[in-house]
Amino acid sequence: MVTRLSSSVNSTVDNGGLGKFKPNESTFLASLMPKKEIGADRFLEAHPQYDGRGVVIAIFDSGVDPAAAGLQVTTDGKPKVLDVIDCTGSGDIDTSNVVKADADGCINGASGAPLVVNSSWKNPSGEWHVGYKLVYEFFTDTLTSRLKKERKKKWDEKHQEAIAEAIKHLDEFDKKHVKVEEASLKRAREDLQNRVDFLRKQADSYDDKGPIIDAVVWHDGELWRVALDTQSLEDDPERGKLADFVPLTNYRIERKFGVFSSLDACSFVANVYDEGNVLSIVTDCSPHGTHVAGIATAYHPKEPLLNGVAPGAQLISCKIGDSRLGSMETGTGLIRALIAAVEHKCDLINMSYGEPTLLPDYGRFVDLVDEEVVNKHRLIFVSSAGNSGPALSTVGAPGGTSSSIIGVGAYVSPAMAAGAHCVVEPPPAGLEYTWSSRGPTVDGDLGVCISAPGGAVAPVPTWTLQRRMLMNGTSMASPSACGGVALLISAMKAEGIPVSPYTVREALENTCIPVGDLPEDKLTTGQGLMQVDKLDLLVLAFAF
């Protein structure tokens, strides 16, 4: 991470160099969410009203938790997360089965369980769409593992009580009947012994497939509504009943979310499609997406040093990581995400996903990004370059191998090394992380466009049971750069300057400061470390 001590940065620019770093509380907190390195703090000091307001960023990732710290509102009080979409279909529930309630307001759930609907719920048609799903299918492996351990612990306690009770009955029988000669007594003792043996064997064959949740969808005359029965998740049989659920509708309408149970602390949103026949329950498939969103836009009014780069910006969460594939993205999910970004009229897309490719600038997804998203609808697409360095030609797709996408490498400053990474002897100047991917691409392109801080302590989903987490990677550098661009777009919109992806990219690359003295350093750093506070003047010059 800090072995290339020969790298240097223009000493006239304050980009978090060691000479300016003092290990006090404020500088430590600032190092956890780096903004000084790219000049975002200087830009906001000069233009506090251009903090991302009026800008909408689509986050193509593993999903954003709307309940996470700092992701509720913007600096001007607007909702932070405008929509949450599962582009993969991994949370879909088939709710095409329609049932009617009996005189007591009871319906048969898709799982076979009897469910009582709330009498206050409006349902003019009287039709209830029902479906069910194993709840573990919504959760990450980490959360599932935690829940299984906690559920196993409680199960063991009850199971040991049952074994102890069975042994007690067997002992009482043996004390009462010294000689067991009658056939009826023999059968009775055999039955008691079988109970003990069965309970002991059951402990060895324990396999928690997970609770089943029942879902109910109906139309209240105006909107499609959703309620879940989560009794199987709760210890108390009086909790989690369908009738007690506060109904949800498509997130973009009311921007409300639910929580499965206090045990998992996993928040979710609901979207209804196909006239009530498909219910999409959206959860994240890793903390990655929420962390990325926090770097770009988190707003902490009581802890401003931990704000994201553009705290005034708003988000669209496009989940491209498929829970069924261990958070891997699919082509279908990516195309759906592009459609959503265009439909929501987003200004920016951040995609901190990628993998190796044989052919740069090739494929259906890249063609759509180039022709439709960037050229036609004029969105600015920012993506991570990859974490496969330091070997040559390790840049990943699409960030480092697509000409219409701004690929971002990961930079570390002395302040970040000392504060976030606790390096005892941080480098005297900023440099690229050694694992940050390098160009060139196989067709001779530079690969990396620019660099931005590649590490941060940012918000994570509530199910992690913590507010923030340290992550490193070009996945973190990309939203840092994206947030910086959001500041610029916020200023351009406020000043009435037309936003062009070509003008912004040219200004972005022309205002970077070099990282490293050697020509080949550009293969890792691109044009260098972006500088937001220099961008506005250059864009103005281009615009006029």
492-516 pLDDT, tens digit each? 999 999 999 999 999 999 999 999 8
Q: What is the pLDDT of residues 368-390, one digit of tens each?
A: 999 999 999 999 999 999 999 99
Q: What is the rounded distance in angstroms from the CA atom of residue 57 to the CA atom of residue 349?
A: 6
What tens digit of pLDDT does each residue of 73-105 get? Answer: 999 999 999 999 999 999 999 999 999 999 999
Cα 17 from Cα 290, distance rounded (Å): 29
* Set 129, 219, 288, 344: catalytic member: 288
Helix (H) / strand (E) containing 410: strand 406-412
In whole angstroms, give the CA distance from residue 499 to residue 399.
21
* Segment 247-306, tens digit of pLDDT: 999 999 999 999 999 999 999 999 999 999 999 999 999 999 999 999 999 999 999 999
User: Looking at the DSSP assignment, which residues form a beta bridge with residue 86?
Assistant: 319
Q: What is the pLDDT of residues 392-419, one digit of tens each?
A: 999 999 999 999 999 999 999 999 999 9
Q: Which of 362, 367, 296 is nearest to 38 (CA)?
A: 296
∠ Cα 486 492 495 (to 5°): 140
**Which among 205, 229, 249 is the end of a domain?**
205
- pLDDT for 541: 56
Annotated catalytic residue 145: no
Is residue 384, in this structure, part of any structural domain at all? yes
Rounded distance, CA 242 to CA 132, Å? Answer: 13
Query: Parallel, antiparallel, or unpaired for β 321-322 and 314-319?
Result: unpaired
Tokens of 535: 């961008």
Confidence of residue 17 (pLDDT cuts 50, 70, 90): very low
Q: The whole model's pTM is what?
A: 0.91
Strand intervals (E) in 263-342: 267-273, 278-282, 314-319, 321-322, 328-329
pLDDT over 90 for what percent of the chain? 79
pLDDT of res. 22? 57
Output the average pLDDT for the chain.
Answer: 92
What pLDDT score was predicted for residue 536?
64
Structural domain contains residue 448: yes
Give how far Cα 413 sits from Cα of 153, 233, 277, 427, Å.
Answer: 45, 46, 52, 8
Q: What is the pLDDT of residue 18?
A: 44
Examine the domain organization and report whether 183 and 71 are in the same domain.
no
Instruction: Let me know if 280 is a catalytic residue.
Output: no
Kindly name the residue from 383, 404, 475, 478 that is annotated as catalytic.
475
The residue range of the domain holding 536 is: 25-90+284-543
Confidence of residue 542 (pLDDT cuts 50, 70, 90): low
Please indicate, yes or no, whether residues 61 and 180 belong to a single structural domain of this protein. no
Is residue 71 domain-shared with residue 164, that is, in the same domain?
A: no
236 belongs to the catalytic site? no
Residues 59 and 159 in one domain: no
Q: Please identify, among 205, 235, 256, the residue that sits at the C-terminal boundary of a domain.
A: 205
Q: The tokens of 458 are what?
A: 């940012």
- Confidence grade of residue 543 (pLDDT, cut at 50, 70, 90): low
Residue 308 burial (C-beta neighbours within 10 Å; 0-12, 13-18, 19+): buried
- C-alpha neighbours within 13 Å on the C-beta side of residue 179: 2
- Beta strand 348-351 pairing with 380-384: parallel
Q: Has residue 56 been placed in a domain?
A: yes
Give me the number of domains the chain comprises: 2
Q: Is 103 within a domain?
A: no
Question: Rounded to an integer, what distance in angstroms lies between the CA atom of residue 267 and that of residue 284?
Answer: 9
Q: What is the CATH number of the domain that holds 439?
A: 3.40.50.200
Q: Which residues pair with 278 in a beta bridge?
A: 94, 273
Domain-ending residue, one of 151, 175, 205: 205
59 domain-assigned:
yes
